[in-house]
Amino acid sequence: MPTTPDRSAVRRYISRLAGRPWARRALWGAALAAVLAAGAFLYANRPLEVEVATVETNVPVRVFGLGTVEARILSKIGFEVGATLVELHADHGERVPEGQVLARLNSGEQQAKVAKARAALSIAEVNIKRAAANLEKARAVLAQKLEANRRKQALAGRDIVSQQVAEEAERDEVVARADVAVFESEIESTKAQLEDARAQLQFEETMLQHRTLVAPFEAIVIERHKERGTVVKAGDPIFTLVAVDTFWGLAHIDEARAGYIEEGQRVDARLRSRPLDSFTGRVVRIGLESDRVTEERRVNIRGDNPPPRVHLGEQAEFWITVATLDRALLVPEAAVLGYDGRKGLVWTLEDGKLQRRTVDFRHRTEDSRLEIVGKLPPGAQVVARAESGFREGRSARAGGAARP
């Protein structure tokens, strides 16, 4: 049966070992390792100081979009016929009223066609007068033949004239009646010729008018495409016009941010050529079709205070205020794990311990903060900045509110 070692013997043995140099170094190393391990344990489990999100008031939610300056009414106008351009009465940058003559084509050939059509109309008017006179003559002859036939038929009945004479009188009446019918149809024919001549004259005069280009509305000339002496074809653009006061902004908005945009919302804008000036406006149109490649929605903005001189196609930045939050708890998107546009995981501080919670979000601010709308446990605070040492159950304390 083994015997229990004597304690005094053990102490003597340790004393002999401690007297040796290598043993002393080993003991000091073990003690140091134990101290370091204890310090590391305490450091790893120390209470963390974390930033927490606080409730903010009157927080604007703005959506950013990059776009250009465009025009709601822009027309590239030209002639409906082709000929040589002989007159130009407007140039780049000019403001023209509605109906002003802008350009003319060579109209010598067309003026000759108008004169020919007017002559044809005069001939048709003369023909209808002649046909009317012939009809009047034929009706007078018919009346005479009717009376003669009536008399001769009465005389033939009393055997005063021969039957042959009576038949000739009846024949003359039939012939006179046919003549009246012929001249009546001639009247209708000449009326149709008169209408055709009038229509032809109207057509030729319209073609003559097509050789004069007028402003369809009060406009600003954006560009003049042709010069005098150029032979233009039908449909060639001569001027590019923009209707006065129809300039607006076209913003391209990410579909993921465009859901809360509505007509009438306030817009702040900045033009690339005037970065120090601020311009405001309102949303007036939201495109019903998104770009399938860029996944962007087109939004048109009407300016309240546009600059005195506007340049089409100039790049502009737009901030659309889609909401103003009276009270909101906001957390940076970088502190959210697994955010899918609606939900995500956040760290919370509950009773001095770190926990993870799934919460619902709604709005996203332009500085990438998310509005928490889901309920949190009573007393829970949302951590605004996650760090590498976080784990559930670890002690922590609030060290200050997160900066917006």
Q: What is the mean pLDDT of each run of 10 residues along the chain (404 residues)?
A: 56 57 60 58 62 90 94 94 93 93 92 92 89 84 78 70 71 80 85 90 91 94 94 94 93 92 95 92 94 94 90 94 93 90 89 89 90 86 84 80 54
Angstrom CA distances, 107 to 81, 209, 228, 236, stand at 11, 9, 14, 17
- Please tell me the class of the 108-209 domain: mainly alpha
Q: What angle do CA 55, 57, 58 make, to 5 degrees?
A: 150
Residue 264 tokens read as 């009438």
Which pLDDT belongs to residue 231? 94
**Which residues face 283 on adjacent strands?**
301
DSSP-H helix ranges across 257-340: none
- 114 vs 117, 121, 123, 202, 212, CA distance in Å? 5, 11, 14, 9, 15
CA-CA distance, 355 to 392, in Å (whole number)? 5
- Cα–Cα nearest to 249, from 289, 285, 195, 208: 285
| CATH number for the segment(s) 64-71+243-324 | 2.40.30.170
CATH 2.40.420.20 placement within the chain: 48-57+326-401
> Which part of the chain is CATH 2.40.50.100?
74-106+211-242
Q: How far apart are CA 167 and CA 152, in angstroms?
A: 9
Asked whether 265 and 307 are in contact (CB, 8 A), the reply is no
Number of neighbouring beta carbons within 10 Å of residue 238: 23
DSSP 373: -
Comparing CA positions, the residue from 44, 51, 47 lying closest to residue 348 is 51
Q: Provide the CB-side half-sphere exposure for 128 (13 A, CA).
A: 15
pTM: 0.68
User: CB of 109 within 8 A of CB of 270?
Assistant: no
pLDDT of residue 319: 95
Measured distance CA(112)–CA(250) in Å, rounded: 49
- 48-57+326-401 is classed in which CATH architecture? Beta Barrel (2.40)
Query: Does domain 74-106+211-242 match CATH 3.30.499.10?
Result: no
Every domain range in the chain assigned CATH 2.40.30.170: 64-71+243-324
pLDDT for the residue 374: 78
- Give pLDDT, residue 141: 81
**Are the beta carbons of 103 and 91 closer than 8 angstroms?**
no
